[in-house]
Amino acid sequence: MRPHLLIAFLFLCPAAFSQDLNINQDINTITVKGVTFNQVVSRLLSHGYAIKNLDNKNKTVHTSFSKCKSKTAVMNISLNVHVRDSVAIITGKMCYNLNNNQYASPDSARTSVVKYTRGAAKEAFLEMDSFAKSFKSEMIYSKTYY
C-alpha cells in the first residue's frame, strides 16, 4: 500500500483505534477485582444510588431505579452487585419512564438488561461502567446468560 493511501485510510477510519472495540455488543456484566462488599455499598451511595435490597449474608445489593444520564431518552437504571472473595460482579437493568414522560415514574414492570449495544442501552452500560471504573481496580467484561 502506498504511504499516502495508508495515511488517508488512517484518517478515514478513526473507529479502528477506538477503545470501544475492546467491548463486544453482548457484554452485560462487569467484574471488578479487589473490592469489599462495604466498599461497594459505600460507593453506590456516594454515586447517588438508593439501596432497594441489601443482603449482608449473601453480599448482594440491588439499587432502586434512578435516572440515567442519558442524552437520548428518559430512562432509569438499577444496579445489582454481588461480592464474593473480593470480586464484585455488576449487572444492571434499565427501564423507561411510564409513557416515556420525563416527569413520570420508572416503568419497572418493563425492564431490559443493561448491555453494551447502542443508543440508550449503551448509555446505561456506560453509566454502569463508570461506576465500576470508580474503584480503579482490575475489571473484566463478560456476558452473563439469564
Task: List, in order of start, the domains of the chain with CATH numbers.
Answer: 29-142 (3.30.530.50)
Question: What is the Cα–Cα distance from 29 to 9, expressed in whole angstroms?
Answer: 34
- pLDDT score of 23: 63
**Cα–Cα nearest to 124, from 101, 98, 92:** 92
- Give the residue, 81 or 14, on which the prediction is more confident: 81
Mean pLDDT of 132-137: 97
Tell me what pLDDT residue 38 has: 97
Lowest mean pLDDT among 45-59, 81-95, 104-118: 104-118
pLDDT band at 130 (very low <50, low <70, confident <90, very high): very high
Query: Which residue type is seen at 119?
Result: G
Look at residues 62, 40, 60, 59 and name the one whose alpha carbon lies nearest to residue 50.
62
Predicted TM-score (pTM) of the model is 0.81
**What is the pLDDT at residue 2?**
54
Q: What is the mean pLDDT of residues 48-75?
A: 91
Provide the pLDDT for residue 15: 38
pLDDT-based confidence at 105, cuts 50/70/90? confident
In the chain, alpha helices (H) = 3-12, 37-46, 119-133
